[in-house]
Amino acid sequence: MGRKATTLTNVQQSMNGSEGSLNLEPLPELVSSDDTVFENEKPKPQKEFYIYRMKGSRKGTIYIDGIEDVIDPATGKTRRARLLSGVSTIWMDEQKEYDKDYVNRNRRSIRFDNRIARISAHDETALLFLDLHNGNVDVKKKIRYCRFQFEKHDPLKAAQQAEQQAMAEFDAMQKALTCDYEIAKKHASFLGVRFTDEFGELKPEKMIRYEYAQKAKANPEFFHKTFDSEQVEVSYMVRRAVSQSKIMVNGDKIYWGTGGFICSVPPAVNPTKHLIDFALNRTKESTEFLQQLKQYAVM
């Protein structure tokens, strides 16, 4: 027998608790999920503190001295900043009313625990001091190099950087997977892709493309910089000539396979790398070498 259709009367009876009420099934329990997705819909609370993260991997506690020569953004000139407890300005030339004893007892430093410093939003002098400090990577004009580099945590900036990195990786990988294979082969070889597997068998084009795309993803900036460049072309020709014994290395001397001298190799320098650099030097000798190398390349 078919299921009866629900009518308006049925619904009204159900709401009134009368006979013939519908047997409504309870809603299934929602699958547990990460509710932080709704955080953007909540009113933003006032910020209680700011986070500064030190670069590198050093652990433990690091103190940054609370005195530094920085650029005053109001004048663009050098000015000495100093952190003192109970003093509302960081500028040393505005702290003249405080005697030496007060300064010695109230000097401050900034503490980083496991590379993190949490500064209260009410600690305006410490925030300004860190925002102008030479160790802050976002400070463009610096007075000196600072051993400890740090940055202010900014979720929006981090998101923008992540987006830019993702787009750069995508563009590089797309180019690696779709460009002319002859260009891809030379560039992949330059980037360190091996063309044979562990058994000495030649890899198919799809595998080489995949590994080439992984190189592109790992360093998209260098990938784009060197793509279809003269450096890649020369590198490919030199290494091909060496593999075919058209160029021979004898101690610290490099010769053509036919016996003609090309150049000498400095101590502790890879001969192939030196030959590539030599070819790109733009000297008379290197230009002649490059011309002959191109002739060998088409033979």
| H or E stretch covering 26 | none
Tell me the C-alpha distance between 66 and 111, whole Å: 10
pTM for the model stands at 0.60
Q: 261-268 long-range CB contacts below 8 Å, 24 or more apart?
A: 262/289, 263/289
Q: In what order do the strands lie in the sheet with 261-264?
A: 247-250, 253-256, 261-264
Q: According to the model, what pLDDT value does residue 13 have?
A: 55
Q: Cβ neighbours of residue 254 under 8 Å, at least 6 residues apart?
A: 247, 248, 261, 262, 263, 264, 265, 271, 274, 275
- As a CATH number, domain 232-297 is 3.30.250
Q: How many helices (H) and strands (E) does the chain have?
A: 10, 10
| Per-position pLDDT tens, the chain of length 299 | 555 555 555 545 545 555 555 555 665 555 555 666 556 565 666 789 999 999 998 889 999 999 999 999 999 999 999 999 999 999 999 999 999 999 999 999 999 999 999 999 999 999 999 999 999 999 999 999 999 999 999 888 889 989 999 999 999 999 999 999 999 999 999 999 999 999 999 999 999 999 999 999 999 999 999 999 999 999 999 998 988 899 998 889 999 988 889 999 999 899 999 999 999 988 999 999 999 888 876 55
Query: Which parts of the chain fold into alpha helices (H)?
Result: 8-16, 100-106, 124-132, 155-178, 181-190, 205-218, 220-226, 230-243, 271-279, 284-297
What residue ranges in 47-92 does DSSP mark as E strands?
A: 49-54, 61-65, 67-72, 77-82
Report in angstroms the alpha-carbon separations of 172 from 179, 222, 266. 10, 10, 36
Where do you find CATH 3.30.250 in the chain?
232-297
